[in-house]
Amino acid sequence: MTRTKSAFRSALGASVVVGLAVQAPADSRGSAAAEGASHPYVGMWHTDDDRVRHELLPNGRYDEARGTRESAYQGRYEVKGTYILYWDDTGFTADGTFVDENTLHHGGMILRRQG
């Protein structure tokens, strides 16, 4: 085997491992329940115009409303420190950062804790 083929196979193998590491699990119905309950961000979050609303449930699931469309997106989420990662039930992923206890930056939007 030539050096180029060996390097290509090594790179290909590494990319497969990396690809597997970032895919959402096949069962996404709340497998993050313990993780979800262990952070202070459970509750309703919304944009200032109330167009986008995220409800972070304590079982590791979320429900997102957009405009008049309730439950527009649903899925699971995980929080690690101030970082949140979402997997919707169709396989789409997104992320965000809690910049303080009442402010979430997500997808170019600023959401605030309702309350």
Model confidence pLDDT, tens digit, residues 8-53: 444 444 433 333 334 444 444 444 444 445 799 999 999 999 999 9
Which CATH architecture is the domain 26-113 placed in? Answer: Beta Barrel (2.40)
Between CA 36 and CA 47, with CA 41 as vertex, the angle to 5 degrees is 125
Query: According to the model, what pLDDT value does residue 103 have?
Result: 99
Of 63 and 31, more confident: 63
Query: According to the model, what pLDDT value does residue 107 have?
Result: 95
Domain boundaries defined on the chain = 26-113
Check: CB of residue 110 under 8 Å from CB of residue 48. yes
Sign of the CA dihedral running 40, 44, 64, 99: negative
Q: Could you say which DSSP state residue 22 is in?
A: H
Name the residue type at position 12.
L
